[in-house]
Each structure stands twice: as C-alpha cells, then as structure tokens.
Amino acid sequence: MSDDIARLLYEGAVAVQEGRYADGQGLLFQVIERDEQNELAWLWLSGAVDDPADQQVALENTLAINPDNQAAKAGLAWLRAHHGNLASGAPQGPATGDWTPPPPRSEDDVDQLACWQCGASVYSVAQFCWQCHAAVQCCNNCVFRPETRCKELQGLTSTMAQVGRNECPWWRVTN
C-alpha cells in the first residue's frame, strides 16, 4: 500500500471514529478509487454510510476481498437480521418510455455547483470536493440522479458506485 493510500485510509478511519462520517466517506472513496481491493477501506466505509443497503454493499465487498473477515461477517449478519437482504440491485424507480441520452458534455464546459454531500461550492472540472472530498462527477451531483436507465447503461446499479467518481458521458450539473 502506498504512503498516500495509507494516509487517506488512516484519516478516513479517524474521521469515522470521530463521527465525521461525510469526511470519512470522501476519504475512503478516494482510497477505493485508487485500490478497489482495499479490504480495510471497504470495512471502514460500511461504518461511514447511513443507508443499510450501502452498508451491506460495503460489507459484501469486504468479504469478496477476504471471505474470512470476521468483522464484516458479523456486521452483515446483524444487518440481515435487522433489515433483510437490502442490496438487490433492482432499479430505483420505474423506467417508463424510451430514454435517449443527451450528447456528451464538452470538455471545455465548466460549471459551478454545490457539492451533493456538504453543499460547498465546487467546479464541475474538480475531481473531489475541496471540503468533504466527495466525488464531484458522480450520480449524486447529476441532473439525471432520479433516472435509472442511464445508470443501467453505465453499469452503475449499486448506490456505492453512484456516489463514487464515474466517467459517465451524460453527466450534467444539478441546478
């Protein structure tokens, strides 16, 4: 593990322990974007997210990396006992009618927007929010956030994938 990843992981874990969940999520997502097989980042992320379905995805990813991780097994058992199986991968809403994606954004377009996670003012060309480290170009900052068909076409059916940085050509700034 590189020093940069180790630092981000440490800072993310400390943020979660201190109750700064938004900061922790942003830092841990940066670790995962650089090393998708980072078992500890996925495990800590399960404690940083509020939605039980997102917690389940993070714990399942931890177990996919290390099937013997006892903390992930215990967390997943608790979630399933209290909430059932939450991560079904089903569409988030009804997809009615044909949906035609818009033309891709120009690389020269720069828009100002509010970060979906903390509300800080950021520019569309930034990779991460300067304040909470959340991904800027992600489904949560997109005008098509409620639209499920674009996510299905991009393979972004998991809520965890939707909050991470993606290269969706249809991404548009929310107003």
Contact 106, 99 (CB under 8 A): no
Instruction: Kindly give the residue spans of alpha helices, DSSP state H, lying in the chain.
Output: 3-17, 21-34, 39-48, 52-65, 70-83, 148-154, 159-163
DSSP calls for 84-110 = --------SS---S---PPPPPPTT--
Look up the pTM and report it: 0.56
Cα Dmax for the chain = 49
Per-residue pLDDT of the chain (175 residues; tens, 9 = 90+): 788 999 999 999 999 999 999 899 999 989 988 888 899 999 999 999 888 888 888 888 888 888 899 999 999 888 888 877 665 443 344 445 566 777 777 777 788 888 777 778 888 888 888 887 878 877 777 777 777 777 777 777 666 677 777 777 777 776 5
Q: Render the burial of 104-114: b for 16+ CB within 10 Å, e for the rest.
A: ebeeeeeeebe
Q: Which tokens is 153 given?
A: 């076409």
Answer whether CATH 3.40.50.300 is correct for domain 3-83.
no
Domains of the chain, residue spans: 3-83, 92-175
Give tens-digit pLDDT for 28-60. Answer: 989 988 888 899 999 999 999 888 888 888 888
